[in-house]
Amino acid sequence: MKTEPSISTLHEGNFLRLQQVGRWEYVERTKANGVVAILAVTDEGNVILIEQYRPPLGKMIVEIPAGLSGDHAGAEGEPLIEAARRELLEETGYHAAKMEFLFEGPSSAGLTTETVTFFLARELVHIGPALGDGSEQIVQHEIPICEVEDWLAKRFLDGRAVDCKIYTALFLVRYQIGL
Amino acid sequence: MKTEPSISTLHEGNFLRLQQVGRWEYVERTKANGVVAILAVTDEGNVILIEQYRPPLGKMIVEIPAGLSGDHAGAEGEPLIEAARRELLEETGYHAAKMEFLFEGPSSAGLTTETVTFFLARELVHIGPALGDGSEQIVQHEIPICEVEDWLAKRFLDGRAVDCKIYTALFLVRYQIGL
């Protein structure tokens, strides 16, 4: 382990900060205490997937529900598990009575400080339509967990963008939970 | 699909560009045409994992071999599959006679334009020690593929950071290839 040179800020944005350490550039979030991603499985054995428009990529992306923790004024210390419940409800309309930690790891360790904390949501109750946060347009899919690989492969071959983290979460629940 | 507002540049770094579209901020790479990640499996059935120091996180991360495509002067049009062969050789000392495309998807769709292209490397020949690119310090592990989940889970419980993309790749090879 080398001694770390000092970190300098190249640009302070409203949500992201571009940093430099030595010659290495990377980005960090300024208004969140974490990122959560939720693999939600209904009592019928369906995985909930969403598609939403993502401005960086300029198109719809197939994902599991996910979002920032502690990014709302007055809730800066929001626990990750509470953020997972909130994001699942906002993006899908489902409340999860059971929310289990699966794993936490970096999403792109060369590019960003971001780590993603994965949860498995079960004992779901559909409370109402997905509300979003006012800016999100979301299409929801419920796919039997035994068919989800084929469903995703077909979407991918049809030219849809599929988020890497779906497969991270699916591997973890197969391995840790046996679903 | 909404009409996209114009994109503005908040900061042009040497390697990263901080962009804004509407109120959304995101980062893109300026000196690469892609990112590749390689799940390499030896003839003996071992998966090759590496640990390397990642400046954004300030610590060692357990990963599969990965790197940028087209980031060397004069090789801006480097094909992704060639970048995968080069990165594997640089980071592990293995040449892969067989390199198969697995999947491409965004690593963090809310944060960056980055997508990662996954390959499965087989028919490996160990040519020599890992060379790195002169800046990387890399620890290499070869783990039987049937034990890799347990090995990773143990590292994680020991407090090591494990990259999300390892699980993405493992899921894909289990599903698509049956390894």
Considering the domain architecture, whether residues B16 and B75 belong to the same structural domain is answered as no
- For residue range A69-78, what is the model confidence (pLDDT) as tens digits? 999 888 889 9
Other CB atoms within a 10 A radius of the CB of residue A60 amount to: 18
Which chain B residue shows the shortest CA-CA distance from A1? B53
Considering the domain architecture, whether residues A108 and A26 belong to the same structural domain is answered as no
Instruction: Place A2 in a pLDDT band, splitting at 50, 70 and 90.
Output: low
Mean pLDDT of A41-49: 97
Which chain A residue shows the shortest CA-CA distance from B174? A171
Q: Are A55 and B22 within 8 A, CB to CB?
A: yes
The verdict on A161 touching B (C-beta cutoff 8 Å) is: yes
Domain count, chain A: 2
Bridge partners, residue A106, by sequence: A115
The verdict on A109 touching B (C-beta cutoff 8 Å) is: yes
Considering the domain architecture, whether residues A149 and A129 belong to the same structural domain is answered as yes
- What are the b/e assignments for B152-162, b being 16+ CB within 10 Å? beebeeeeebb
Mean pLDDT of A74-85: 94
Q: Are A56 and B103 within 8 A, CB to CB?
A: no
Q: Are A163 and B109 within 8 A, CB to CB?
A: yes
Considering the domain architecture, whether residues B38 and B97 belong to the same structural domain is answered as yes
Per-residue confidence (pLDDT) for residue B4, from 0 to 100: 57
Q: Domain range spanning residue B68?
A: 33-177
The verdict on A163 touching B (C-beta cutoff 8 Å) is: yes
The least confident of B59-63, B66-70, B89-93, B132-136 is B132-136
The rounded distance, in Å, linking the Cα atoms of A33 and B1 is 30
Alpha carbon B129 to chain centroid distance?
20
Considering the domain architecture, whether residues A130 and A166 belong to the same structural domain is answered as yes
Which chain B residue shows the shortest CA-CA distance from A118? B164
> Strand runs (DSSP E) across chain B, as ranges?
7-12, 16-21, 24-29, 34-40, 46-54, 59-63, 66-69, 94-106, 115-126, 138-144, 161-162
Considering the domain architecture, whether residues B84 and B9 belong to the same structural domain is answered as no
Tokens representing residue B59 in the block: 């610590």
Considering the domain architecture, whether residues B12 and B91 belong to the same structural domain is answered as no
- For residue range A122-155, what is the model confidence (pLDDT) as tens digits? 999 999 887 766 666 789 999 999 999 999 999 9
ipTM of the complex: 0.93
| B14 interaction partners in chain A (CB closer than 8 Å) | 23, 25
CB pairs under 8 A between A and B: 184
Q: Are B156 and A25 within 8 A, CB to CB?
A: no
Selected residue with higher pLDDT from A79 and A3: A79
pTM of the model: 0.94
Q: What is the mean pLDDT of chain B?
A: 93
Considering the domain architecture, whether residues A10 and A50 belong to the same structural domain is answered as no
The verdict on A54 touching B (C-beta cutoff 8 Å) is: yes
| A3 interaction partners in chain B (CB closer than 8 Å) | none
Per-residue confidence (pLDDT) for residue B136, from 0 to 100: 61
Which chain B residue shows the shortest CA-CA distance from A61? B109
Considering the domain architecture, whether residues A52 and A17 belong to the same structural domain is answered as no
| Cβ atoms of B1 and B46 closer than 8 Å | no
CA distances from A167 to A8, A43, A58, B105, B179 (A): 35, 21, 22, 10, 16
Considering the domain architecture, whether residues B41 and B14 belong to the same structural domain is answered as no
CATH assignment of the domain containing A164 = 3.90.79.10
Considering the domain architecture, whether residues A78 and A116 belong to the same structural domain is answered as yes
The rounded distance, in Å, linking the Cα atoms of A179 and A164 is 19
Considering the domain architecture, whether residues B54 and B106 belong to the same structural domain is answered as yes
| B172 interaction partners in chain A (CB closer than 8 Å) | 167
Instruction: Place B176 in a pLDDT band, splitting at 50, 70 and 90.
Output: confident
Q: Identify which of B18, B105, B170 has the shortest CB distance to residue A13.
A: B18
**Is the pLDDT reported for residue B93 higher than 80?**
yes
